[in-house]
């Protein structure tokens, strides 16, 4: 496989960077587009967790890992409904304005919010959030199941920031960038370009992690405001690059041939709800959705456990911020290395082989992480080589989290987005938005809902580790089964589309 993709390259270039010099005009802007999108994503992702862990008011008698419970509550009670609303708005915007204008509208809207947060909301956080004493009084007459929901509402500025940052990660990376890449990358470029987009893009993840480590030693108003200014400026750069690609790159016939990337005959526009309905009427999309949901559930359960232990190990917010930055730095570095090999796996192996890599890694490294977690929980004063088992679990949790995310960015996202390519234009556009936004949220929110039910009976993440481990393993096994079911359907659809294009030409 991949002979046409690597033709004209030496062995070393074929392995590391199989891009022709003339193709840099297209490859570099697309890569930098992903670089800046991932930079913002990483920066706000780290900030949202730090804000929830250390800048929210809690109730009297709250458990030590209560802030981890708030993260779970935000995902199920707030992020999920907004995700459904977002996909409806996205579909309506695409129908009314087209994909290009929708890109500008979505990015600009997020940048306006981050500007407002940095200059208005965060500087007045203490005045805007409900005091801890008032929260305690409010919860006295409320059922335990709704406590975290109410606490999130009481800390609404941080909660809104969390929701916007979650939606940015899903919408900007999965729908805006990859949908644009799918619509403009020609079939002879796909296997060479897609993996390397992640390699260049994840340098932005490393830089964002270092930025958090060095500029957020304290979450002062000036520091947070500076970071929000940086986000807005980079958002403007993203829009400029996008405009350049459309006006200077895609107008060159060497880089864009409509017959190579989409159907010549377009179908009529699809209604708003039809994009969501695709998930329940199209088995192919349902299987893709199963992959997304599987990842969301598995990563959510491992993350909530890791963050609960991080809060126990690092009661100081500065130490936590530093460790959060480490996660992003490790993630970016791992992704770069994984991408170097992953890009070659994509060119040389079948889709199923590459798609299975992510859940298999989840099983192997997740087992080690949860093994350390259980050892720390059930062995009093547990130590390993003279260090506390808690610190071992925290550090391995950080490494495990960074590794699975790196594999997700370089292999999972790439193979998942390749699975959309054989679909017709309407199904691809509306179905992808529905799968990415709703499926991604359903996985994380579903895991969060299960956690909220558990916390309603017995507060504290660490009190449910055994149940979490069982759900984690079961989810990954179903994920593996879905990959095996989707693989023959993908290969068949891909072959049919290639034959149709050949017949048209």
Separation between Cα atoms, residue 421 and residue 490, nearest integer Å:
9
What is the predicted pLDDT for the residue at 265? 40
Q: How far apart are the first and last CA of the chain?
A: 23
| CA-only gyration radius of the chain, Å | 23
Whether the per-residue pLDDT at 199 is higher than 60: the answer is yes
HSE, side-chain direction, 13 A CA sphere, residue 74 = 31
Each residue of 221-238: pLDDT tens digit?
Answer: 888 999 999 999 999 999
DSSP H helices in 117-146: 125-128, 132-139
Residue that wins the pLDDT comparison between 413 and 44: 44
DSSP H helices in 1-124: 3-6, 11-16, 24-54, 66-73, 80-116
What is the predicted pLDDT for the residue at 273? 59
Closest CA to 14 of 344, 434, 431: 344
Each residue of 379-396: pLDDT tens digit?
Answer: 877 788 888 888 888 888
Top-confidence range, 260-264, 278-282, 479-483: 479-483
Residue that wins the pLDDT comparison between 449 and 151: 151
Separation between Cα atoms, residue 147 and residue 150, nearest integer Å:
5
Each residue of 49-83: pLDDT tens digit?
Answer: 889 988 899 888 777 777 878 888 898 889 888 98
Each residue of 116-155: pLDDT tens digit?
Answer: 999 999 999 999 999 999 999 998 888 878 888 999 999 9
Residue that wins the pLDDT comparison between 93 and 200: 93
Cβ contact 238:33 at 8 Å = yes
What is the predicted pLDDT for the residue at 106? 95
What is the predicted pLDDT for the residue at 259? 63
- Burial pattern 222-250, b for ≥16 Cβ within 10 A else e, equals eebbebbebbbebbeebbebbeebeeebe
Whether the per-residue pLDDT at 97 is higher than 50: the answer is yes
Listed range (232-236, 400-404, 420-424) with the worst mean pLDDT: 420-424
What residue ranges do the domains of the chain occupy? Answer: 23-256+274-504
- Burial pattern 464-480, b for ≥16 Cβ within 10 A else e, equals bbeebbebbbebbeebb
What is the predicted pLDDT for the residue at 240? 96
CATH superfamily, with its number, for domain 23-256+274-504:
MFS general substrate transporter like domains (1.20.1250.20)
Residue that wins the pLDDT comparison between 354 and 440: 354
| Percent of the chain scoring above 70 in pLDDT | 90
| Alpha-carbon dihedral 405, 406, 408, 409, rounded to 10 degrees | 120
Q: Which tokens is 66 given?
A: 């209560």
What is the predicted pLDDT for the residue at 18? 78
Each residue of 315-359: pLDDT tens digit?
Answer: 777 778 888 888 889 888 888 888 777 667 777 788 898 899 899
């Amino acid at each position: 496989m991949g002979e046409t993709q690597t033709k004209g390259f030496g062995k070393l270039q074929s392995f590391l960077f199989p891009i022709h010099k003339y193709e840099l005009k297209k490859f570099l802007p697309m890569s930098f587009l992903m670089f800046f999108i991932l930079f913002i994503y990483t920066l706000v992702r780290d900030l949202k967790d730090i804000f929830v862990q250390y800048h929210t008011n809690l109730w009297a008698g709250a458990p030590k890992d209560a802030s981890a419970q708030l993260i779970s509550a935000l995902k199920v009670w707030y992020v999920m409904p907004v995700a459904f609303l977002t996909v409806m708005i996205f579909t309506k915007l695409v129908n009314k304005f087209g994909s290009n204008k929708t890109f500008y509208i979505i990015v600009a809207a997020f940048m306006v919010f981050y500007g407002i947060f940095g200059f208005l909301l965060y500087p007045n956080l203490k005045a805007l959030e409900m005091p801890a004493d008032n929260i305690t009084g409010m919860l006295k007459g409320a059922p335990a199941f709704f406590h975290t929901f109410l606490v999130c509402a009481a800390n609404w500025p941080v909660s809104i920031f969390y929701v916007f940052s979650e939606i940015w990660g899903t919408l900007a990376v999965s729908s805006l960038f990859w949908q644009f890449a799918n619509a403009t990358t020609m079939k002879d470029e796909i296997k060479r370009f897609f993996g390397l987009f992640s390699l260049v893009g994840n340098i932005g993840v490393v830089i964002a992690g270092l930025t958090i480590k060095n500029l957020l030693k304290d979450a002062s108003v000036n520091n947070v405001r500076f970071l929000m200014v940086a986000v807005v400026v980079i958002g403007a750069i993203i829009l400029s690059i996008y405009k350049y690609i459309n006006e200077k790159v895609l107008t060159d016939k060497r880089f864009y041939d409509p017959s190579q990337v989409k159907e010549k005959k377009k179908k009529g526009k699809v209604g708003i709800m039809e994009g969501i309905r695709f998930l329940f009427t199209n088995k192919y999309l349902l299987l893709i959705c199963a992959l997304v949901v599987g990842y969301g559930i598995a990563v959510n359960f491992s993350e909530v456990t890791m963050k609960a232990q991080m809060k126990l190990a690092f009661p100081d917010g500065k130490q936590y911020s530093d460790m959060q930055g480490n996660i992003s730095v490790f993630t970016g570095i791992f992704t770069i290395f994984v991408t170097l090999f992953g890009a070659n796996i994509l060119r040389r192996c079948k889709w199923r082989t590459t798609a299975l890599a992510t859940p298999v890694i989840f099983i192997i490294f997740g087992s080690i992480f949860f093994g350390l977690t259980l050892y720390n929980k059930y062995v009093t004063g547990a130590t390993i080589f003279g260090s506390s088992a808690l610190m071992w679990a925290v550090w391995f949790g950080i490494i495990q989290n960074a590794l699975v995310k790196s594999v997700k960015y370089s292999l999972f996202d790439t193979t998942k987005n390749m699975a959309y390519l054989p679909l017709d234009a309407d199904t691809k556009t509306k179905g992808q938005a529905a799968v990415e936004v709703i499926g991604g949220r359903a996985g994380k929110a579903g895991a969060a809902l299960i956690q909220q039910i558990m916390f309603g009976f017995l507060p504290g993440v660490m009190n449910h580790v055994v149940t979490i481990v069982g759900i984690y393993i079961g989810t990954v096994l179903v994920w593996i089964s879905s990959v095996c079911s989707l693989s023959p359907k993908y290969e068949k659809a891909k072959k049919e589309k290639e034959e149709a294009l050949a017949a048209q030409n």
